[in-house]
Structure 1
Amino acid sequence: MTDFTGKFFWYELMTSDPQAALAFYGDVVGWSSAPFGGDLAEPYHIVSGSAGPLGGIMAIPAEAKACGMTPWWGGYVGSADVDADVERLSAAGGSVKRAAEDIPGVGRFAVMSDPGGAIFMLLKGSSPDGMDAPAGMPMGHVGWHELYAGDFDKDLAFYTGQFGWVTGDAMDMGEMGSYQLVSQTGGADFQDMTGGIMPRPPMLPVPVWLFYFTVGDIDAAVARVTAGGGTVLQGPMEVPGGAWIIQATDPQGAMFALVGGKEEG
């Protein structure tokens, strides 16, 4: 059982049309899905990649929709003590967006933002049966985590200082600033890196975490995105290490990203 304390381990889409989103991502990323939560009017759908469950898809709650929430991907960071972490992270410059509370049969969670304003969730599961982190970059799972930071320096210090993340190389991106590689797993070599932090570019309205789902051939994935009604915002483009990425929005408007390879032609 993997200790996910201080690491992203669960990913959740809140959307205006869960059934349409399930069909879209099932085709684009290859997920299977199953409802969770019994006879709820709006079931929570567990989605799984090749190595097992990785997240969920649900309808935007009525109260959140009334406050203007639009479709959005969020990530959960493992917590050994949600209440203590809320207090600790708040003292370090984070903000509480939703106070700690229990989800029956699931665990205890809270919604936080980092000093720059990007949202993330904390979660401690109630089940003694935990998950294991998938090895490598299995199909359908998150292969990269990218923060478009509202305050680069404070956010970098926040995640490294509070969650124990390790920094790798920093790449100079000119006017866009520095792209700082980070590892949630403790290793400092390139192969240990699990994401990057960079200043929020002007075209993004708010600071945000972006999650890259692993696919096979990136060009084939692009074709599936557009055929399913999604929009490619950027890419395909090659990144260090030989992978190819795109950034896109799904048909309901949630931003997501894909990482894959290129078939030799």
Structure 2
Amino acid sequence: MLGTDFRKGSPNWLDLGSPDTGAAAAFYGAVFGWTHQSAGPDAGGYGLLQRDGKTVAGLGQLTQEGARSAWMVYFMTPDIRATVDAVKAGGGTIRTEPEDAMAEGWLAQATDPQGAEFALWQPGKTAGFEVASAENSLLWAELHVPDPAAAFAFYGGLFGWRGEDMQTPGMTYRVLSTEEGDQKAASFGGIAPMGDGAGGESGGERPRWVPYFNVADADATEAAAVKAGGTVLMPSTDVPDVGRIAWLADPFGAVFALLKPNPQM
């Protein structure tokens, strides 16, 4: 399960790009109880979203013309330049070459061969987010693409991920684990075939990584999101052996999901 003992290829940072960071912070505060803290005067308006004083994610202003509000999942790399080279060799593209984030770490932004955007983080003073898998924090990262097998081959070339296929109604779901540690304990996300369903309406179905946040009550959290101006893409639904899931979009269209996990997950 996702934690903060970061290993190569594990999600270790998450941030949201929004056209209105104040309104976005207010929305997620209403949904998850997060508070918003500035990252400092030299951070260009970038801030931290926190749960009980611990950082869950980052929040920044969209700066590129035509950019869409979205959540970005970052994966840990001990050598960001080597991973960037592997992205290019595997058919992906680099949107932002490695840059030093004020000695907190090195970051780069990339797009996989099927169009899903992701990012890389090489830790400096900041290893990553400070809490994961706890209530109202990141629990799972899920990739939706047209060709899951090709995606697994691409990311496996970057991080050495392991996969285990699960048969679910109508599709094969691949659970992802880092290359180190017990495979079940090292699982952090999955790959699903893109198609009709969650994100297919106002969310606009397209290749993407979707963050799942652990919640105590998916229905109540869904209702809080709607009250705060969000949109329901898939209403709260029970998924056997997984838990109760909902897909939502914030007021600016950024897609995220809720999961009240099955205790056996």
Under a length normalisation based on structure 1, what TM-score does the superposition of the two structures give? Answer: 0.85
Partner of 2:164: 168
**In 1, Cα distance between equivalents of 2:164 and 2:53:** 27
Aligned to 1:90, the other structure's residue is in SS state helix
**In 2, Cα distance between equivalents of 1:252 and 1:218:** 21
Alpha-carbon spacing, 1:243–1:172, altered in 2? closer, same or farther (3 Å): closer
Does 1:101 pair with 2:99? yes
**In 1, Cα distance between equivalents of 2:182 and 2:36:** 33
CA drift at 1:186: 4.3
Alpha-carbon spacing, 1:255–1:201, altered in 2? closer, same or farther (3 Å): same
Does 1:179 pair with 2:173? yes
Which of 116, 119, 126 pairs up with 2:117?
A: 119
Does 1:32 pair with 2:30? no
Task: Give the letter for the 1:196 counterpart.
Answer: G
Task: Give the letter for the 2:68 counterpart.
Answer: T
**Is contact 2:13-2:129 (8 Å) kept?**
no
**In 2, Cα distance between equivalents of 1:225 and 1:99:** 35
Deviations 1:175-198 (Å, cap 9, x if unpaired)? xx4221222364334x65322201
Does 1:13 pair with 2:44? no
> Counterparts in 2 of 1:11-160, with a 5 A limit?
11-38=14-41, 42-50=44-52, 52-61=54-63, 64=64, 66=65, 68-127=66-125, 130=127, 134=131, 137-160=133-156
CA drift at 1:120: 0.7
Aligned to 1:87, the other structure's residue is in SS state helix
**In 2, Cα distance between equivalents of 1:244 and 1:78:** 28
Under a length normalisation based on structure 2, what TM-score does the superposition of the two structures give? Answer: 0.85
Stretches (4+) displaced over 6 A: none
Partner of 1:250: 250
Alpha-carbon spacing, 1:134–1:60, altered in 2? closer, same or farther (3 Å): closer
Task: Give the letter for the 1:32 counterpart.
Answer: T
CA drift at 1:132: 7.8
**In 2, Cα distance between equivalents of 1:215 and 1:200:** 24
Partner of 2:191: 197
**Is contact 1:112-1:120 (8 Å) kept?**
yes
Partner of 2:225: 225
Deviations 1:47-106 (Å, cap 9, x if unpaired)? 123582121111101xx1x1x111111011111111111012221232212222222233
Unpaired stretches in structure 2, ≥5 consecutive residues: none
Task: Give the letter for the 1:235 counterpart.
Answer: P
CA drift at 1:216: 1.3
**Is contact 1:183-1:194 (8 Å) kept?**
yes
**Is contact 2:49-2:55 (8 Å) kept?**
yes
Q: Quick one: percent identity of the two aligned structures?
A: 32
CA drift at 1:173: 4.0
Task: Give the letter for the 1:201 counterpart.
Answer: G
Unpaired stretches in structure 1, ≥5 consecutive residues: none
- Equivalent residue pairs, number: 252
**In 2, Cα distance between equivalents of 1:113 and 1:261:** 29
**In 1, Cα distance between equivalents of 2:228 and 2:174:** 33
Aligned to 1:206, the other structure's residue is in SS state coil
